[in-house]
Amino acid sequence: MYEGQSFSTKYSSYCKQRTRRKQRARRRLLAVVLVVCAAALVLVLSDKILPIEVWATPEKDIKEIDFAVIQEQESEPEEEPVEEEAVIKKAPLVFIDAGHGGNDGGCAEDGIIEKDINLTIAELVRDKLKEMGYDVAMSRSVDKYVAKEERVKKANDINADIYVSIHQNSSDERSVNGMEVWYDGTDTQRDSRRLALLVSQQTAKSTGAVEREVRGDADFHVTGSTQMPACLVETGFLTNREERKKLASTDYQEQIALGIVQGIEYYFHPKTMYLTFDDGPSEENTTRVLDILKERNIKATFFLVGENVERYPEIVRRIAREGHAIGIHCYNHDYKKLYDNAKNYVEDFERARQVVYEVCGVQAQMFRFPGGSINSYNKEVYTKIIEEMTSRGYVYYDWNASLEDAASSVAPEKLLANGVETTKGRKKVILLAHDVIYDTGTILEELLDKFPEYEMLPLSEKVEPIQF
């Protein structure tokens, strides 16, 4: 018979030992965890406390610790957001060139010398620009001769933003009067043409002088060798008796200076025009319009007719490809059916919108009512249409200027005059035109020349709409 401990006794003893071992292991693990936590806490506290000198030094006692400050620091994020440096806008630097000077008097008549008038006007321009916050450099500020090469070199060396040279004119024909502005049209990299147009337009407006011509065939060193946009303005003819008398007067010189300054102001801070075209595309006329816009790097907005989109899909793709904005005009230009009820209008719109999307991938959100948002066809339903379309997230745009080219048999000159007159100098203009009208394409380039004070931009849903 086996005389040792029984199996049950041994098993009971084994279980007790195993339990004691587990308890000891738990205690050791807990101790390790406590040590690690304590170490971590010390590190955290030391990171917070060290910056305010917890440890006493010969100069400070530990009692000086402000625990309120510690608590406040602990509540703040460890990494403070870095503030972006303020963007400092540099004022435009305008170079004003008072033509001639010293032993070079320029043209003269009845004791009135060009160099003197040039300098007086230049000084007036300088003072007005400085009051407006511009930086100004002068080719000369006293009656001395400065070579044209030296004038240009100075402007180039200081990296002037624009160059305006002031002169007076003369002619063998004593009856000739008015102002001329010249620029180098062979250099398309500089925006000299727009500068010349603005100086001419605004000076003629402020003085009432005859605006003779803006000429791009200037063969002057100051317009051809400058690195910045440059123009030369002949403010009048000293050989014309009446104009000479004006040019010598303080009031008229002030008016000239005001015009030049306003032209410069519009050059740097233009107003805004949204050029819009309805009813297209047209195979012939829309292509002409797009060619002109592309040459001038102008982006416009086209409110398209769905049926025409289906006829000329490639033109629509070109409109989108060249960066113009696209809106919906309608699918079918049947006013009676379109405005019979709100349901008809919405269905017509959605059909046109789907066609545009299938052709060029544009999900148009903008639209323009045929005839405008309020017209003789939709008086009974326009409020319901607007409510429904707005609820769907669409935005409609009317206009505050127009060529009035939808009317029949309007002469090109009249279209041009309509466009200029209806803008009324507004700061923000949405101009209505129709790219399906032949004469609209005919006068478009001349029309654009009439608006150098405007920056031409395409519409978007972010633009606050003009609505009737």
The CA-CA-CA angle for residues 231, 90, 201, to 5°, reads 30
Among 25, 34, 95, smallest CA distance to 260 is for 95
Whether the CB-CB separation of 216 and 148 falls below 8 Å is answered with no
Q: How confident is the model at residue 39 (pLDDT cuts 50, 70, 90)?
A: low
Q: Which pLDDT belongs to residue 65?
A: 34
Q: Is the pLDDT of residue 303 over 80?
A: yes
**3-state percent helix, strand, coil for the chain, nearest multiple of 5:** 45, 15, 35
Distances (CA, A) of 43 to 21, 48, 49: 33, 9, 10
- 325: which 2 tokens? 């904005």
pLDDT for 151: 98
Mean pLDDT of 274-291: 97
What Cα–Cα distance (Å) separates residue 42 from each residue in 31, 401, 430? 16, 74, 68
Least confident piece of the model among 54-63, 112-121, 353-362, 409-418: 54-63
The pLDDT of 279-286, averaged and rounded, is 96
Read off the tokens for 189: 């990299």
- Strand pairing class (112-113; 108-109): antiparallel
Q: Note the pLDDT tens digit of each residue in 216-274.
A: 999 999 999 999 999 999 999 999 999 999 999 999 999 999 999 999 999 999 999 99
CA distance 140 to 336: 69
Mean pLDDT of the chain: 88
466 or 9, which is more confident?
Answer: 466
Global pTM exceeds 0.75: yes
In order of 16, 243, 275, 319, 449, the CA distances from 439 in angstroms are: 108, 38, 16, 20, 16
406 versus 27: which is more confidently predicted?
A: 406
Higher pLDDT, 55 or 438: 438
